[in-house]
C-alpha cells in the first residue's frame, strides 16, 4: 500500500512521548490521541494531564480520555475516526477484541523487551533485576493476550553495568520510537515484513513493581542488591538499615570482597563510601537520603554521623 494513513495513537506516560513524536513526524495524519483520564498529582493533588496529552494538545491533535474502551460508546467513537492503524505505547487500558479489529491494519504495540521475555507491566526493571545483559523493543501486532502478539520488528540494546531504571527507560523509549517510525514507513511502502509468532520457549512475566520490594536484604549477594538499587531508580527506590538508621539508597556499587562479618555490618566508612557486609561480597554506598531529607553523597552524610567513620 502507499498513501497517507489515518493514525490513532494511545499512550500515557513519558515513555510514550517519543513514539507520539514519531507518529506526528511520519507524514501520516494523527487523527486522535487516546490517553488515560487526568490524575491527581503533586503536593496539591491537582488534576494533571499526562505527558502524552500535553504533547498532543501542543500539536493540535484531538485528545480522548475514556475511562474504559469496553463500552459500546467508546468503541463507536473510535470507529467513527475511521483509523487505518492504532498505535499503542504504555497506554494503561486493556484493548478488547472489538477494539483491536476496528483499524484497517489492526493495532500495533511498542513493548520494552525482547519478547517473549518480560511480557507484562515492568519489563525494563525486571530485565535489570535479573541481570540480563541485553534487552530491547518489539513492534508487535496486538491480539487479545498480554503481550502475546506476533512481532513485526525489533531492536536490541546492551544493558550496561551502570544502567538504572531511568537510563534504560530513556534509551528504550527512543529506540521504540525509531522502530515505530521504521514500521510506519515500511507499511506505507508495502515493505512491512510478515509478523513472526513469538516462540513458546523463553516466556517470562514482568510483574508490576511493588513498594514492598524496595527494602534491601543484606543477606543477599552484593551484586543482586546493586541491581535492585539501579532497577528501582527512580521508583520505587530502595531502603535499608545502615548502622541503626533507615536510609534510602540511590547509588552504590558491589565489591568482590570476602569477609566473615554478619550481613548488614559496616565494614568500613570513609568519605569515598560506606562498605556494608552482604551475604556475598560487600556493597559500597555512595549516595543516600535520610528521612525527610534530600539526596546527598556519603561524605556529606558522614558529616552528620562522624562516629561511623573508620579510624
User: How far, in Å, CA of 97 to CA of 271, rounded?
Assistant: 58
Contact 61, 81 (CB under 8 A): no
Q: Of 304, 232, 238, give the one whose Cα is nearest residue 276.
A: 238
Helix, strand, coil abundance in the chain, percent, nearest 5: 30, 30, 45
The radius of gyration of the chain from alpha carbons, rounded to an integer in Å, stands at 23
Binding positions are 113-116
Whether the upstream peptide bond of residue 250 has omega within 30° of 0, thus cis, is: no
- Indicate the DSSP class of residue 200: S
Those residues whose C-beta lies under 8 Å from the C-beta of residue 54, and which sit 6 or more positions away, are: none
User: How far, in Å, CA of 15 to CA of 287, rounded?
Assistant: 26
User: How far, in Å, CA of 16 to CA of 78, rounded?
Assistant: 20
> What are the strands, taking DSSP E only, across the chain?
6-11, 29-34, 39-41, 46-48, 63-64, 85-89, 107-111, 119-120, 134-141, 151-158, 205-206, 238-242, 245-255, 266-270, 273-277, 282-289, 295-297
Binding positions for (6S)-5,6,7,8-tetrahydrofolate are 113-116
Amino acid at each position: 500500500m502507499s498513501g497517507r494513513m489515518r493514525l490513532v495513537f494511545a499512550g500515557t506516560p513519558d515513555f510514550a512521548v517519543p513514539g507520539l513524536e514519531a507518529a506526528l513526524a511520519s507524514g501520516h495524519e494523527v487523527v486522535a490521541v487516546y490517553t488515560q483520564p487526568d490524575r491527581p498529582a503533586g503536593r496539591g493533588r491537582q488534576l494533571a494531564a499526562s505527558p502524552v496529552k500535553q504533547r498532543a494538545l501542543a500539536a493540535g491533535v484531538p485528545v480522548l480520555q475514556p475511562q474504559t474502551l469496553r463500552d459500546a460508546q467508546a468503541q463507536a467513537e473510535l470507529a467513527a475516526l475511521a483509523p487505518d492503524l492504532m498505535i499503542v505505547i504504555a497506554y494503561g487500558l486493556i484493548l478488547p477484541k472489538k477494539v483491536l479489529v476496528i483499524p484497517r491494519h489492526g493495532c500495533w504495540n511498542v513493548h520494552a523487551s525482547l519478547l517473549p521475555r518480560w511480557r507484562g507491566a515492568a519489563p525494563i526493571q525486571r530485565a535489570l533485576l535479573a541481570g540480563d545483559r541485553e534487552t530491547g523493543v518489539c513492534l508487535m501486532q496486538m491480539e487479545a493476550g498480554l503481550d502475546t502478539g506476533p512481532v513485526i520488528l525489533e531492536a536490541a540494546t546492551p544493558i550496561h553495568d551502570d544502567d538504572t531504571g531511568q537510563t534504560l527507560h530513556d534509551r528504550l523509549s527512543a529506540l521504540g520510537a525509531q522502530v515505530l517510525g521504521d514500521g510506519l514507513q515500511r507499511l506505507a511502502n508495502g515493505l512491512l515484513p510478515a509478523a513472526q509468532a513469538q516462540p513458546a520457549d523463553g516466556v517470562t512475566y514482568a510483574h508490576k513493581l511493588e513498594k514492598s520490594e524496595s527494602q534491601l536484604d543484606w543477606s543477599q549477594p552484593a551484586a543482586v542488591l546493586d541491581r535492585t538499587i539501579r532497577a528501582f531508580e527512580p521508583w520505587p527506590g530502595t531502603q535499608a538499615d545502615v548502622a541503626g538508621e533507615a536510609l534510602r539508597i540511590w547509588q552504590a556499587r558491589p565489591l568482590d570482597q570476602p569477609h566473615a562479618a554478619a550481613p548488614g555490618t559496616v565494614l568500613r566508612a570513609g568519605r569515598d563510601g560506606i562498605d556494608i557486609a552482604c551475604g556475598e561480597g560487600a556493597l559500597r554506598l555512595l549516595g543516600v537520603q535520610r528521612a525527610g531529607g534530600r539526596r546527598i553523597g556519603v561524605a556529606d552524610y558522614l558529616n552528620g554521623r562522624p562516629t561511623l567513620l573508620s579510624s
